[in-house]
Structure 1
Amino acid sequence: MISPKEILTRYWGYSTFRAPQEAIISSVLNQKDTIALLPTGGGKSICFQIPTLVQDGLCLVVSPLIALMNDQVQQLKDRNIKALALTSKISQNELPTIFDNLQFGNYKFLYISPEKLQTTIVQERIRNLNIQLIAVDEAHCISEWGHDFRPSYLQIHNLRDHFPKIPIIALTGSATTKVLEDISVQLKLNEPDIYRKSFARDNLAFRVVEAEDKLFKVEQVLKRTNGVTIIYVNTRRKTIELSDQLNTLGYTSTYYHGGLLYDEKIKQFENWITEKTPIIVATNAFGMGIDKPNVRVVIHYDVPNSIENYMQEAGRAGRDGKKAYSVILKNDSDIYQTKERFQKSIPTIDFIKKVYLQLNQFYRIAYGELQEETFDFNLSEFCNLYKFPVVLTYNVLKTLHKDGIILLDENFDRKSTIHFIGTNKQVFDYYERKPSFEKLIKLILRTYGGVFEGPKPINLNYIAKTIGMPFSTLIGQLKQFEKDEIIAFYHANSNAQIRFLVPREDNRTINPFSRGIEKRNNLKLHKMKALIDFIQNDTICRNIQLLHYFNETNLEKCGHCDVCQESNKHPNVSAENIPDLILTLLSQKKEVSSKELVLQINAKEQDVIFSLQLLVEKNRIGLTSQNKFRILE
């Protein structure tokens, strides 16, 4: 039998394993159930791919993300390894042929989502396959204490009933001790070997920085690090705006978010990976498959979603082992907005019941009826009709989907697109001839950059609301533009599709899930508070705080986070001496900005700002027309 190291060298070109990969592979080959907790970049996939290639048979990989499945399948195919992903894109009619190929075509890997795994035909055909290993990726999704709980994961344990003697390996990049315990119980693992790689990163410095002027702070960080950078923001619009601002300042950046078309995503990613644009501004959609070793800094321009998400995103820096930085920019407004956003995004049981009732009435489903039809669904139209807040309603739908009450299709974010195929002059001449269209054309051009370069996703509801135009009239005008060969327009007729999975019983439908929903809401509150505590706690080493969150016991000060740096600084300037130092600097330089004073005075930024305000109130200093401080005579 060929050895794991030979497989590693043959297919991956490496001669040695990272710790603890070799021990995990040995455990799997010894037919042991295994849990592997490896932080981002720890090489989780090799832990089930190599044992599969060493022996005969097929590995069944359960994974929650279609994009991740497709990416791993493509990587295997690039190495001439036969693999296939069974996603929702594959029709029922195709399944018999696919399973025949899997059974007789010498395939080594079958990737499947937990939802697809629940279908009857898939369960029946899987039993005929020569499965030698079951891998459950993102296994924290099985636990209600995990940061991305998915009820569909709770059904994976049925595989144990079908394949009682086949080893299972559960893999996750972030999990507390409680989550690991849940994984073992829910998957019915038999005394599993558990391997945990510490989250400690000696080369990664965690910094939380107070910043009222965030763009200025970003510039400071970029000047000091001068390397490949990821900047995370929390909205799609902000990715474009911040990237444009950085390019105006002389940096070379691009942007990435989930609303981009597939070809755009590939282009933006390639520009960054080849360092044509070494800075990328992105939402958390930028994550899957990123393994660039020389990322020098990851900046969180906005507060991350949770400590688990933060560790995954920050962990993309410094994988080459060289010095790297993770920087969170924050201010009081961020903390307030994070709490406010949480309150507005967590639906109560009463609101869930209300949305479910209106959803049934919207499609005229009778009490006690199970309607098996798949319905087109427009979120904005539904919310406008019943005066529901959009974000909260969307979260209700996701909750109903998670609890198996409805099925919400995976193309919820499908977007209409527009592409101006005429030149600037042709567009100008067009609305000169047809002035009634001028307002709409100018709004689109002002709102969406790059519409002359290629198809761009647009929010039709936002445009209709902003311009004060009925939705149907907007669609009519856009179709007229297309007919006049000014634009190419793709209209996504519905944002989503919905199918009801249980008969309508109104409150009685929701009641059995109420305790679980409330438990998940409380857990989200706990995670939000833990994140805010981490951001606001400037007395305990950041590394210690993070390791403690993940139940690690070997806690030592890192020496290079902002808390450790502050304690090592021993500033020469006490708070009461700052005003005198400001006056001295102003007497030497005449006019100085607040940013320059903060950089020159070895003290906390908030103390310098407070001293400036104090001196202004006492009429000792004033502001010039260039917003610089000077001494008043």
Structure 2
Amino acid sequence: MINTALEILKKYWNYSSFREPQDQIINAVLQKEDVIALLPTGGGKSICFQVPAFQMDGVCIVISPLIALMNDQVANLKKRNIKAATIKSGASNNEIITLLDNIKFGSYKFLYISPERLQSQLIQQKIKELNVNLVAIDEAHCISEWGHDFRPSYRNINILKTIIPNANFIALTATANNKIINDIALNLELHHPKVFKKSFYRKNLAYQVFDVQDKLGKLLQIFTKTKTPAIVYVNSRRKTKDIATFLNANNFKSSFYHGGLSTKDKDLAFKNWLSESTPIIVATNAFGMGIDKSNVGIVIHFDLPFSIENYIQESGRAGRNEKKSFAVLLKNDSDILVFNDTVKKSIPSLKEIKEVHRKLYQYFTIPLGEITEDFYSFNLLEFSKLYKFTPIKVDTILKILANNGIIILSNTYNQKSTLFFKTSSKNVLSYAIRNIYTKNFINSLLRTYSGLFEQEVKIDEFAIAKKNNMTSGQVKEQLLRLQQDDLLDYNQVETDLEIQFLVPREDDKTINSISKNISKYLTQKDKKSKDFLSYISNNTICRSIQLLNYFEEKSTKKCGVCDVCLSEKRNKKLNISEEIITLLKSKYSLTSQEINQFISANEKDILIHLRELISENIIKINHQNKYQLK
């Protein structure tokens, strides 16, 4: 029988030792103390609750903000033969009851659940029936209105203190200052929690910000020098494929990853990167969960992230093996303009939030005062076009509504419609000639998508509609007509999102009740974007010092490896050479010892500069063995 935490770690995770301060955190949890753990990205937060929960009788409830993150964690535990479960999106009451009964009687160790689910009285009642040994709150900074991703639904987690009073709590986050830590303790009603903080300082990670016009050229330059596995982060799905294609064309093996890929394609891209058959992966920020590859040598931000917290989390995936690694950010004046424009476009007013919220209910013909438990298929672009909204703003508003417990959002991006021409190209062209009204439409399909005669191809009806000056509804009608004429197989998927409404329709009254939360969220979002711009624009203070001070770690020790520190070293080197030249102009010739008396630098540095000036043909050694200008 396995008794110790170290034995469990070795058997199920194949690690022979804990990282600092994992073992101290685990001991505190086992002593039934409430714990707050602040560990930077890559610090092994999940181990801190998974290992002790495994040692205790009963089940550990894990509160997590993202469906995809929960699914990922459950899948990882199942791979290790550890029984874990989560409530799937759209589950009926009967399915929820069956799942929780299975957990109760089936020796499950972990139940992953979103904070929104805790609002359900059914789930609260079923949790009462479980033997809960521990409550773990992941991404605990979401509790605080000062956090970078405040979710008011996190404020309701303390209901568990009433439901399961004997379970202790552990709150975990990678990004929090003292104000946020105090907020977490207060809102979770933690009793004298033990707080563990690991420094954000990464001595082996060089933060470097480069101002470059030709970013693609810079990538080639970087990958010519750096041969370790790498991640390139971009802000659009299209760029992931375009840049990976560019790198492959230049003999740098790359794959790409974004939220719109099918599960199969995501798994293949991740597997190829993990095995290093494609050591470079170009990705959106959807690539991040479950990454534990220790030898990533460089993380490059090709586009600007929107906060220091996001930047730190993504950059922190480099150098987990403690070897020298790099976090490189590429920027230029155009990026700053785009950044400011995107922030401006993505931050809605209260009036706009009310308008989108009202139109959502109208879109699904839900009357005032009514609520339904149905999940509705939703196409964000189509909705935005219909009501003349900006898609990026609608996206932000949907997240605000979800974070405030008004709706539940479920991504279905990987479910795309498919098309396959089941007859020959000759027959298709012949059909197009006979049906003059569909000729241009068919030609547009064939130009847009390759392989339609060989296999099922994923399509985007909205994109097709845009190309043909039609609505996506008209596109679907055309495709269904072609299917009826036995020309093609059209497997139609209606949506990229699913929405469930959690409160009855009350229009402005609903938004007014959460307006204070919304205002704080928008103010924070704006401040964090400005803080990030300030960081990348400050070329006088060591990057590491800037980041540490942002997270309230007071430090004056320069890292010596960031772009600011390296620039200082180069300038210092340049200044010594100039001082030597100026000195020799006034003194004609001097020995190295004499030069050392006039210049305040160590003798070794002066000798290096003297050799460089000789090699550059600026000075020479005369017959008296003294240095003089040429």
From the superposition, tell whether residues 270 and 89 of structure 1 become closer, same or farther in structure 2 (CA, over 3 Å).
Answer: farther
Alpha-carbon distance in structure 2 between the residues aligned to 1:526 and 1:446: 45
Matched with 1:434 is 432
Percent of residue pairs bearing the same amino acid type: 48
Deviates more, 1:313-322 or 1:354-363: 354-363
Alpha-carbon shift at residue 201 of structure 1 (Å): 1.0
Alpha-carbon distance in structure 1 between the residues aligned to 2:442 and 2:252: 30
Alpha-carbon distance in structure 2 between the residues aligned to 1:340 and 1:468: 27
Alpha-carbon shift at residue 341 of structure 1 (Å): 0.3
| Amino acid in structure 2 at the alignment position of 1:468 | N
Alpha-carbon shift at residue 53 of structure 1 (Å): 1.8
Alpha-carbon distance in structure 2 between the residues aligned to 1:71 and 1:277: 22
Aligned pairs (5 A) from 1:196-211: 196-211=197-212
Alpha-carbon distance in structure 1 between the residues aligned to 2:223 and 2:251: 12
Alpha-carbon distance in structure 1 between the residues aligned to 2:282 and 2:451: 16
| Amino acid in structure 2 at the alignment position of 1:64 | P
From the superposition, tell whether residues 503 and 119 of structure 1 become closer, same or farther in structure 2 (CA, over 3 Å).
Answer: closer
Q: SS in structure 2 opposite 1:281?
A: strand
| Amino acid in structure 2 at the alignment position of 1:18 | R
Asked whether the equivalents of residues 418 and 451 of structure 1 are also in contact (C-alpha less than 8 Å), the reply is: no
Alpha-carbon shift at residue 128 of structure 1 (Å): 1.1
Alpha-carbon shift at residue 456 of structure 1 (Å): 5.4
Alpha-carbon distance in structure 1 between the residues aligned to 2:452 and 2:330: 32
Aligned pairs (5 A) from 1:540-579: 540-570=541-571
From the superposition, tell whether residues 180 and 230 of structure 1 become closer, same or farther in structure 2 (CA, over 3 Å).
Answer: same
Matched with 2:70 is 69
Alpha-carbon distance in structure 2 between the residues aligned to 1:511 and 1:336: 33
Aligned pairs (5 A) from 1:270-281: 270-281=271-282
Alpha-carbon distance in structure 2 between the residues aligned to 1:166 and 1:270: 38
Asked whether the equivalents of residues 261 and 457 of structure 1 are also in contact (C-alpha less than 8 Å), the reply is: no
Aligned pairs (5 A) from 1:139-154: 139-154=140-155
Matched with 1:335 is 336
Deviates more, 1:271-280 or 1:411-420: 411-420
For residues 231-273 of structure 1, what are the alpha-carbon distances to aligned partners after superposition, in whole Å with 9 as ceiling and x for unaligned?
1110001111111111122221111100001111111111111
Matched with 2:81 is 80
What TM-score do you get using the length of structure 1 for normalisation? 0.84
Alpha-carbon distance in structure 2 between the residues aligned to 1:478 and 1:15: 58
Alpha-carbon shift at residue 449 of structure 1 (Å): 7.1
Alpha-carbon distance in structure 1 between the residues aligned to 2:454 and 2:18: 45
Deviates more, 1:440-449 or 1:29-38: 440-449
| Amino acid in structure 2 at the alignment position of 1:267 | L
Matched with 1:120 is 121
Alpha-carbon distance in structure 1 between the residues aligned to 2:293 and 2:455: 28
Asked whether the equivalents of residues 203 and 318 of structure 1 are also in contact (C-alpha less than 8 Å), the reply is: yes
Alpha-carbon shift at residue 82 of structure 1 (Å): 2.0
Alpha-carbon shift at residue 477 of structure 1 (Å): 3.2
Matched with 1:611 is none
Asked whether the equivalents of residues 462 and 471 of structure 2 are also in contact (C-alpha less than 8 Å), the reply is: no
Deviates more, 1:472-481 or 1:321-330: 472-481
Alpha-carbon shift at residue 319 of structure 1 (Å): 1.2
Matched with 1:403 is 404
Instruction: Give structure 2 stretches of 5+ with no counterpart.
Output: 579-630
Matched with 2:413 is 413
Q: SS in structure 1 opposite 2:53?
A: helix
From the superposition, tell whether residues 214 and 428 of structure 1 become closer, same or farther in structure 2 (CA, over 3 Å).
Answer: farther
Residue 226 of structure 2 corresponds to residue 225 of structure 1: yes
From the superposition, tell whether residues 452 and 553 of structure 1 become closer, same or farther in structure 2 (CA, over 3 Å).
Answer: farther
Residue 162 of structure 2 corresponds to residue 161 of structure 1: yes
Alpha-carbon distance in structure 1 between the residues aligned to 2:277 and 2:439: 37
Deviates more, 1:59-68 or 1:231-240: 59-68
Aligned pair count? 572
Asked whether the equivalents of residues 243 and 255 of structure 1 are also in contact (C-alpha less than 8 Å), the reply is: yes
Alpha-carbon distance in structure 2 between the residues aligned to 1:193 and 1:490: 55
| Amino acid in structure 2 at the alignment position of 1:434 | A
Q: SS in structure 2 opposite 1:52?
A: helix
Deviates more, 1:223-232 or 1:547-556: 547-556
Alpha-carbon shift at residue 190 of structure 1 (Å): 0.9
Alpha-carbon shift at residue 365 of structure 1 (Å): 4.3
Alpha-carbon shift at residue 160 of structure 1 (Å): 0.9
Instruction: Give structure 1 stretches of 5+ with no counterpart.
Output: 578-633
Alpha-carbon shift at residue 445 of structure 1 (Å): 5.8
| Amino acid in structure 2 at the alignment position of 1:336 | L
Asked whether the equivalents of residues 82 and 109 of structure 1 are also in contact (C-alpha less than 8 Å), the reply is: yes
Matched with 1:100 is 101
Matched with 1:385 is 386
Matched with 2:11 is 10
Alpha-carbon shift at residue 438 of structure 1 (Å): 6.0
What TM-score do you get using the length of structure 2 for normalisation? 0.85
| Amino acid in structure 2 at the alignment position of 1:147 | H
Asked whether the equivalents of residues 262 and 414 of structure 2 are also in contact (C-alpha less than 8 Å), the reply is: no
How big is the alpha-carbon RMSD for the aligned residues of Structure 1 and Structure 2?
Answer: 2.6
From the superposition, tell whether residues 16 and 359 of structure 1 become closer, same or farther in structure 2 (CA, over 3 Å).
Answer: closer
From the superposition, tell whether residues 451 and 72 of structure 1 become closer, same or farther in structure 2 (CA, over 3 Å).
Answer: farther
For residues 305-350 of structure 1, what are the alpha-carbon distances to aligned partners after superposition, in whole Å with 9 as ceiling and x for unaligned?
2111111111111111111111100001111111110110111011
From the superposition, tell whether residues 508 and 89 of structure 1 become closer, same or farther in structure 2 (CA, over 3 Å).
Answer: closer
Greater Rg over alpha carbons, structure: 2
Alpha-carbon shift at residue 506 of structure 1 (Å): 3.1
From the superposition, tell whether residues 432 and 177 of structure 1 become closer, same or farther in structure 2 (CA, over 3 Å).
Answer: farther
Alpha-carbon distance in structure 2 between the residues aligned to 1:456 and 1:565: 50
Alpha-carbon distance in structure 2 between the residues aligned to 1:365 and 1:84: 33
Alpha-carbon distance in structure 1 between the residues aligned to 2:574 and 2:442: 57
Matched with 2:586 is none
Residue 510 of structure 2 corresponds to residue 509 of structure 1: yes
Alpha-carbon distance in structure 2 between the residues aligned to 1:279 and 1:450: 27
For residues 369-396 of structure 1, what are the alpha-carbon distances to aligned partners after superposition, in whole Å with 9 as ceiling and x for unaligned?
4456554433333333322222212322
| Amino acid in structure 2 at the alignment position of 1:19 | E
Q: SS in structure 1 opposite 2:45?
A: coil
Q: SS in structure 2 opposite 1:45?
A: helix
Matched with 1:236 is 237
Deviates more, 1:375-384 or 1:175-184: 375-384
Alpha-carbon shift at residue 68 of structure 1 (Å): 2.3
Alpha-carbon shift at residue 355 of structure 1 (Å): 2.2
Alpha-carbon shift at residue 412 of structure 1 (Å): 5.4
Asked whether the equivalents of residues 155 and 187 of structure 2 are also in contact (C-alpha less than 8 Å), the reply is: yes
Aligned pairs (5 A) from 1:482-497: 488-497=489-498
Alpha-carbon shift at residue 450 of structure 1 (Å): 7.6
